[in-house]
Homo-oligomer: A and B are copies of this chain.
Amino acid sequence: MDQPIGVIDSGVGGLTVARELMRQLPKEQLIYLGDTIRCPYGPRPEAEVVQFTLEMVEFLQKKQIKLLVIACNTATAFTIDLLRERLSIPIIGVIQPGARAAIKVTKTKTIAVIGTDGTIGSKAYPKALKQISSDLTIYDLACPQFVPIVESGHFSPEAAKHVVEQSLKPITNLRGLDTLILGCTHYPLLAEPIKQVMGANVEIISSGEEAAREVSALLSYQALAYRGNRLAKHFFYTTGSPELFEQIANRWMDYPVQHVENIVIDQSLVEKNKSF
């Protein structure tokens, strides 16, 4: 099928999912929308996250997407059930793929999850994990300082290492812990310091990478994959500054992110949230 895959995120973090989608599914076209101006979603109340996400989805639906990826853990936690009821296309969040991958990987059945306040508060990961297997020890920890570092677009390795070290203290040296889920799509951009702090015995699961793997599977099972031969072109939209988006994106992506378009989803909301 020739239609694009839609990807939404609260900002640039979902680009880690987009990067994996491009790598794992080079023939599939993406339309990415980052709600940069209202980022971060993590500390916002549930009702607001739901409203913002629905607005983003409305924009992508006009682009005739064949599948939606919610590349934001907070938005997944609060909206995936609702969106699955409302939309007829398949919807893939980042929480269940991360949970399934962690269960595949862990040998000690001891798993930790880090994420935003919203994601951790929702208990979406422990719920998803326990639904598959009752026999797990699960730790979770909110790391509210990580997203602002990444979205700022400039952080020194030393500063990042320091923040990561301080934030992860409660889960370093936990007995038997062998698997850590990065329950926020911004966190793979801090993967290096996180790996250093957690040590070589803890396997790091990127929920975004795993979501891309499941998109690949679902496209196939639902006969939605593009069957021809092409190297796909992608389109990027942001509710914030296209220049900053391009700057940050091109620092991580192999694909040249150009011609990013600014879109205004809801002027009143944008005004209201400028000071956020």
Q: How far is it, in angstroms, between the C-alpha of A133 and the C-alpha of B187 when the chains are bound? A: 27
The contact string, 1 if C-beta is below 8 Å from chain B, for chain A 88-127, is 0010000011001101100000000000000000000000
Residue of A218, A220, A225 with highest tally of chain B CB at under 10 A: A220
A145 interface hit (Cβ, 8 Å)? no
Contact A217/B216 with A26-B133, A227-B131 known, Cβ cut-off 8 Å: no
- Does A275 have its Cβ within 8 Å of any Cβ on chain B? no
A13–B216 Cα gap in the complex (Å)?
A: 26
Given contacts A26-B135, A27-B132, A132-B25, contact A104 B213 (CB under 8 A): yes
CB-nearest residue of chain B relative to A217? Answer: B214
* A210-239 at interface with B (beta carbon < 8 Å): 212-214, 216-218, 220-221, 225, 227, 229, 231
Q: How far is the CB of A126 from chain B (nearest CB, A)?
A: 15
Q: Which residue of B is nearest A220, CB measured?
A: B96
Nearest chain B CB to A133 CB, angstrom units = 5
A104-B209, A221-B90 known; A216-B132 Cβ under 8 A: yes
Q: Mark A14-58, 1 if CB is under 8 A from B, else 0.
A: 000000000011110000000000000000000000000000000
Which residue on chain B has the smallest CB distance to residue A216? Answer: B100
Report which of B26, B27, B217, B227 forms a contact with A100, defined as CB distance below 8 A: B217
Main SS at interface, chain A = helix
A134 at the interface (CB under 8 A from B): yes
CA distance A221 to B219 in the complex (A): 12
Contact A103 B24 (CB under 8 A): yes
Chain B nearest Cβ from A262, distance in angstroms: 32
Asked whether A100 and B225 contact (CB < 8 A) given A26-B135, A27-B132, A133-B27, the answer is: no
Q: How far is the CA of A227 from the CA of B134 in the complex (A)?
A: 11
- Interchain CB contact under 8 A, B25 and A229: no
- Expressed in whole angstroms, the Cα–Cα distance for A217 and B95 within the complex equals 12
Please, could you name 10 A-B residue pairs with CB atoms under 8 Å apart, sorted by A?
Answer: A24-B100, A25-B132, A26-B133, A27-B133, A96-B217, A104-B209, A104-B212, A104-B213, A131-B227, A134-B229
A-B residue pairs, 9 tightest by C-beta: A100-B216, A214-B217, A26-B133, A104-B213, A24-B104, A24-B103, A134-B229, A96-B220, A217-B217
